Structure 1
Amino acid sequence: MTDQKRPNIVFILTDQQRLDTIRALGFPHMETPVLDSLVEGGTSFRNMYVTSPSCSPSRASLFSGTYPHTNGVFRNDEPWVWSWVKLLAEAGYRCVNVGKMHTMPVEGPFGFHERHVVENKDRDHPNLPFYLDTWDKAFWTRGLRKPSRVSYRERPDYDDRLGAFVWEAPEDLHPDVFVPSLACLWLERYKGQEPFFLQIGIPGPHPPYDPTQDYLDRYEGRDDLPMPINDYDLDAEQPAAMRELRRHHQGEDHDAIVHLENPTAEQLRRQRAHYYANVSMIDTQVGRIIEALKARGVLDETIIVFTSDHGDCLNDHGHSQKWNMFEQTVHVPALVWGAGIPGGRSVEDLVALFDFGPTILEWAGIAPPAWMEARSLNPLMGLAAENGERDRVFAEHTNDAILQGTNYMTMIRKGDWKLVHFVDSAEGQLFDLAADPEERSNRWDDPACATRRQELIMDILRWRIESDRKTQGFCREIAGL
C-alpha cells in the first residue's frame, strides 16, 4: 500500500456462496445493493477458485497459504497446524474472529487475540463432536430450541423441502444476523487504537436454507431464477465417483437436505428462492458492518474483503452442496473495497482463494513467507509491480466421509480447459469451458482431446513435485525452527 498508515482489515467469509449471487457481477435475479456497492467502488476478482471443495480444507488452505496436501487438512475434523494470522498479531494488529472459521480444535487461538465462535448452522448429528458455541448459548439463555435437522425432521413435509425452510425463531438469533451483530458489538465496545484484523465468518448461505419470510418474499413466485443444469444424461457424462456421490446424498440428509433423485421444478425453484433470499439477508448485514465501521470513525482507513469458502451446486449436475469440482462449487465471488483499493476494477485473471493470505500480509507491511504457494493479489489491483498472474489454478480433496467414491480428486483449470483427475480410476472429467461453460459434455474420452488431457495430467504431476519443493520451509515454520 502507498499509505504509510496500516489499514484495518475486515475479512468477511461466508459459507457455501455461489458466484451467481451478486447482482453487480452480472446476475440480475439477485437483490444485493450493499455488495453491488462494493463491486462498483472496489475491485472484483471474476475468476476466483477455491483450493478445496469443502469447508475446513478450503479455510485451512486460505489461512496458511498452502494447499491441503501441504498443511494436512483434507476434511473438517483434521487439526490445523499454522495460520498467518499469528504474523498479523506479532506485527501489532488486534486479531479477532467472530463467527465461523471451522478450525480444529474449534476454539484454538491460531494467532487470534479473541475468538467468538459460531459454527455450522446444523450440528445435530451423532457423528459430529459435541460443542456448545456462542450461538448455542444465546438460544439457551432465551429458553428456545435451536432449529436443526432434528427439529426439521418433525415436519410432515421434511422429505420434500430439499433443505429449504423459513426461519421461525426470533430474527436476531438467525446465525447470519447474530454473527454480524456480534461483530458490530465488538466494533462498538473495543477501545484499543491499534489496527485490527476482524475476521467475520457468516454461517450462511450454507444449508439449511433458512431465510426469514420478508427476504423470501423477494424471490418466491419469480420465474427468472436460474434453474439447475441437470437436463442432460448425468450418468453417461459423469464418472463413477460422481455418480456415487449423488447416490450418497440421496441416502443421507446432510445439513437437513433430503436430496431427491428427481425433484420437481417447483421444489427446485423453492430451494433456490430460499438460498438467494439467504444471500440477500447477508447483504443487509454487510451494510450494518459498514455502518458500524463508520460509527467507529474508521471506515476510511479500513479494507473490506468479501468472499466465500466454496459454492453450492443446488442440484446443478444432479448434485447437492459441494464435494465436487463443478464450477458452481469451486468458483466463488471475491470483492475487495476500501482504503487504497482501486474502484470499479474487474480482474479476469485466474486466482486462488488462498491468495488473500499474502495479500493481507502485504497490506499490514509484512513480507509473506517465501514458502507460501499463494501469490499476492496486489499486483493485479495495481498496488505492486510484481507479476501476480497465474495461468492455472488447482483444487484437491480426499479423506472425506461424504466423498467415498474416490481416494483422491484433483482439479486443474488452465486457460479455458478444466480437468478433474481421480487417482484410483481411469475415468475423469475434461471440459472446454469456452465451448461448454455449463460443463455438460465430458471430453475425457474424446480422441480429439487426448493430447490436451495428457498435458493437463502432466501439469498436475509437475505441480505436486514443485509444490513439495516450494513449501519445504513450512514444516520448519510450524516447528519453530
Structure 2
Amino acid sequence: MKKIISSILLTASLTFAQAETQEKPNFLFIIADDQCWETVGCIGGEVITPSLDRLVDNGVSFRRAYNMGSWTGAICMASRHMFNTGYKVWDCKNLKRGKPKNDSKKPAKKPSTKGIDLPLSWSQHLSKAGYKTYFSGKWHVNSYQPAEVFDVVGTIRGGMPRQTPEGYNRPKDENDKTWLPWDKSKGGFWQGGTHWSEVLRDEAVDFIDTAAKEDDPFFMYIAFNAPHDPRQAPKEFFDMYPIDSIKLPNNFMEAYPYQDKLGRGKDGRDESLVPFPRTEYSVKVNRAEYYALITHMDVQIGKILDALEASGKLDNTYIFYTADHGLAVGHHGFIGKQNLYEHSMGAPLIINGPGLEKGKRITENVYIQDIMPSTLELAGVEVPEKVFFKSLMPLATGETDKGRDHIYGGFLMDQRSILQGDWKLISYPTIPKFRLYNIKNDPDEMNDLAENPEHAGKLQSLKILLVEEMERQNDPLLETYPR
C-alpha cells in the first residue's frame, strides 16, 4: 500500500511536466560496464566526457550510488539480474532459470525447477503499460532472452569482448608493445570490423528515428560493453592521454595485503590483466587505456543524445545513465571490481527529464538498481511487492532529502560490507578480518580504524547491523558467519 501511495504522490508532483501532452514519458536507459563514478569528467576531473558532463549539468546526479554485490566473479551478471527483476542479489542467484538458447556445441538443458519463480522482467512491466521496448548491446542475463522480453532487439553482445592472451599480464615494462589497443587484428571490440560502441550507437539512433514517427511511448535499454577490457578504441583517443599525464590513485598499492586470501583475489581474471606486483607504469598504462575507451564511448552517447533531441522526443523523455558497478584499475592494488571498496561498488548515476532541477547533486546513499522502480512509478505502473529497490524520484524531485539508511555489500562467501552514513565496515569472514573507514574524512579508504579503541563502539554497532542486514538479504553466508 505504501508503494501505491508513493506512486500516486510522485505522479502528482510531476504532472505539471506532462500536462501539455498528456503522454506517458519515454525512457532512455544507458548502462556502461565497469565504469567507476570518478571517471565522469566533471566529477573526477581526469577523464574527457563532455556528453556525460552534459547529462550532469542538465539533470540530477548521485555521488553515492552502489551495486549490492555478486554471487559470481562476473559482477555485471548479478547487477543486471537485479536491474531486470528488481530482486535482491541473493534472490536473483536463486531464480529459476528459463530454458537457455540451444547452442549446437552443447546439449540443451532443461529449465530449473528449483528456486524462486521468475518474475516479469523490467521491460515486460513497461510493455504491459503500452510501451514499445527496445534492447541492444550487452545482455548477460541468463534468466531471460532479449527476444522474449523486448519488442525490438538489435545486436546482442556477450559478457565481454573476447580477450586475447596478449592482453593479460601487461605491460611488463616500457618496452612491452605486444598488445596495442588500436590493433584491429586482436579482435575484441573490433570483432566484426566496426567498434562495438559504434554499432550500438548506430542501432540506437535508428530506433530513435523510427520512434519519432510513432505515438507509442518507448523504453530503450542501451547496454555498452565499454569500458570493460580489452580496452580498445581508435588511436586518436589514446593520444588524448599521454602516460606522463596520468595520475596514480592516492591509494595505489603494489599489492593488497589480503589479496591472496580472498576469492577471485590474486588468481582472479581481472587481477591477472596487470603484472604482480603492480608497478606505477603498468597501472598508468591501464588507466590511460580505460580513460580512452570511456571518452570514445562518451562520443557515441553524445550522438545518441543528439538524435533524441532531433527527434522531438527529448522534452518528454527521462534519461537514466549508470554502470553496473565501478572498477579499481590500481586502487588498493586491485585491477578489477571483485572487492567492496568505493571505487568498485560505486558507479555513476544520472537522471535527466521533465521537471527535474538542472545541476542538482545528491550525496545520499542509493542503489543503482533503484532506477528500475523509478521508471515503473513514472509510467504509472504499480511496483510489485517483491521488488526490493525503490524509486529515486522523491530524492530527485526534492520530495525527500533522505536516501538509504544503509547499503549492504556482498561478494561470494568471503567479503561483506555495510555502509551507514559516512561509516563503512568491510568484513573478511574467512580470514577473519574487519576494516573500518570513515568515507567522508577518508574518501580513499586508506586509514583503517578497526583496531582504534576510540571507534570500538562504531565497529561493534556496524557488526551488529551487518548481521541484521544479512538476515534481511537472505544471505547464504549467515548460517556460518562468525559472530
Same fold (TM over 0.5): yes
Q: Deviations over 1:175-226 (max 9, x none)?
A: 1222122111222245542101000000010111112101111112442534
Letter in 2 for 1:203: N
How far the C-alpha of 1:87 sits from its partner, in A, is: 1.0
Is 1:96 equivalent to 2:134 in the alignment? yes
Query: What corresponds to 1:390 in structure 2?
Result: 404
1:163 and 1:258 in contact (8 A); partners too: no
How far the C-alpha of 1:281 sits from its partner, in A, is: 0.7
2:172 and 2:282 in contact (8 A); partners too: no
Query: What corresponds to 1:130 in structure 2?
Result: none
Q: Secondary structure at the match of 1:173?
A: coil
Equivalent-residue separation in structure 2 for 1:375 and 1:173 (angstroms): 38
1:211 aligns with one of 210, 215, 233: 233
Q: Secondary structure at the match of 2:350?
A: strand
Please show how residues 446-461 of structure 1 align to structure 2 within 5 Å: 446-461=452-467
Q: Secondary structure at the match of 2:29?
A: strand
Letter in 2 for 1:120: G
Q: Tell which deviates more after alignment, 13-22 or 83-92.
A: 83-92
Q: Secondary structure at the match of 2:61?
A: strand
Please show how residues 440-479 of structure 1 align to structure 2 within 5 Å: 440-467=446-473
Does the C-alpha gap of structure 1 residues 258 and 234 become closer, same or farther in structure 2, counting only changes over 3 Å?
A: closer
1:393 and 1:414 in contact (8 A); partners too: yes
How far the C-alpha of 1:122 sits from its partner, in A, is: 2.7
Please show how residues 202-241 of structure 1 align to structure 2 within 5 Å: 202-227=224-249, 229-231=251-253, 234-235=256-257, 238=258, 241=261
Equivalent-residue separation in structure 1 for 2:437 and 2:428 (angstroms): 15
How far the C-alpha of 1:367 sits from its partner, in A, is: 2.2
The size of the alignment, in residue pairs, is 427
Query: What corresponds to 1:293 in structure 2?
Result: 308
1:261 and 1:318 in contact (8 A); partners too: no
1:12 aligns with one of 25, 30, 51: 30
Does the C-alpha gap of structure 1 residues 349 and 258 become closer, same or farther in structure 2, counting only changes over 3 Å?
A: closer
Is 1:355 equivalent to 2:370 in the alignment? yes
Is 1:168 equivalent to 2:184 in the alignment? yes
How far the C-alpha of 1:357 sits from its partner, in A, is: 1.3
Please show how residues 129-148 of structure 1 align to structure 2 within 5 Å: 148=163
Equivalent-residue separation in structure 2 for 1:327 and 1:467 (angstroms): 20
Equivalent-residue separation in structure 2 for 1:184 and 1:289 (angstroms): 6
Query: What corresponds to 2:5 in structure 1?
Result: none
Is 1:49 equivalent to 2:66 in the alignment? yes
1:36 aligns with one of 27, 40, 53: 53
Q: Secondary structure at the match of 1:288?
A: helix
Please show how residues 410-421 of structure 1 align to structure 2 within 5 Å: 410-421=416-427
Please show how residues 82-161 of structure 1 align to structure 2 within 5 Å: 82=119, 83-105=121-143, 107-109=145-147, 111-116=149-154, 117-123=156-162, 148-150=163-165
How far the C-alpha of 1:88 sits from its partner, in A, is: 0.6
How far the C-alpha of 1:360 sits from its partner, in A, is: 0.9
2:206 aligns with one of 165, 170, 185: 185
1:277 aligns with one of 277, 292, 298: 292
Query: What corresponds to 1:303 in structure 2?
Result: 318
Query: What corresponds to 1:426 in structure 2?
Result: 432
Q: Secondary structure at the match of 2:408?
A: strand
How far the C-alpha of 1:288 sits from its partner, in A, is: 0.8
Does the C-alpha gap of structure 1 residues 20 and 366 become closer, same or farther in structure 2, counting only changes over 3 Å?
A: same
List alignment gaps of at least 5 residues for structure 1: 124-147, 399-406, 470-481
2:132 and 2:216 in contact (8 A); partners too: yes
Query: What corresponds to 2:87 in structure 1?
Result: 66
Equivalent-residue separation in structure 2 for 1:446 and 1:240 (angstroms): 25
How far the C-alpha of 1:389 sits from its partner, in A, is: 2.3
How far the C-alpha of 1:325 sits from its partner, in A, is: 0.5
Q: Secondary structure at the match of 1:187?
A: helix
1:246 and 1:318 in contact (8 A); partners too: no
Equivalent-residue separation in structure 2 for 1:381 and 1:328 (angstroms): 23
Query: What corresponds to 2:9 in structure 1?
Result: none
Letter in 1 for 2:78: P
Letter in 2 for 1:440: M
Q: What root-mean-square deviation, in Å, do the aligned CA atoms of Structure 1 and Structure 2 show? A: 3.2
Equivalent-residue separation in structure 2 for 1:55 and 1:367 (angstroms): 27
How far the C-alpha of 1:296 sits from its partner, in A, is: 2.5
1:163 and 1:208 in contact (8 A); partners too: no
How far the C-alpha of 1:347 sits from its partner, in A, is: 0.9
Q: Deviations over 1:428-478 (max 9, x none)?
A: 322222332212233334443332222112212222434569xxxxxxxxx
Q: Secondary structure at the match of 1:324?
A: coil
Does the C-alpha gap of structure 1 residues 239 and 153 become closer, same or farther in structure 2, counting only changes over 3 Å?
A: closer
2:86 and 2:373 in contact (8 A); partners too: yes
1:81 aligns with one of 96, 114, 118: 118
Question: Percent identity at matched positions?
Answer: 26
Equivalent-residue separation in structure 1 for 2:89 and 2:252 (angstroms): 30
Letter in 1 for 2:182: V
Q: Secondary structure at the match of 1:444?
A: coil
Q: Secondary structure at the match of 2:231?
A: coil
Q: Secondary structure at the match of 1:290?
A: helix
| TM-score (normalizing by structure 2) | 0.80
Q: Secondary structure at the match of 1:89?
A: helix
Query: What corresponds to 1:472 in structure 2?
Result: none
List alignment gaps of at least 5 residues for structure 2: 1-13, 101-110, 476-483
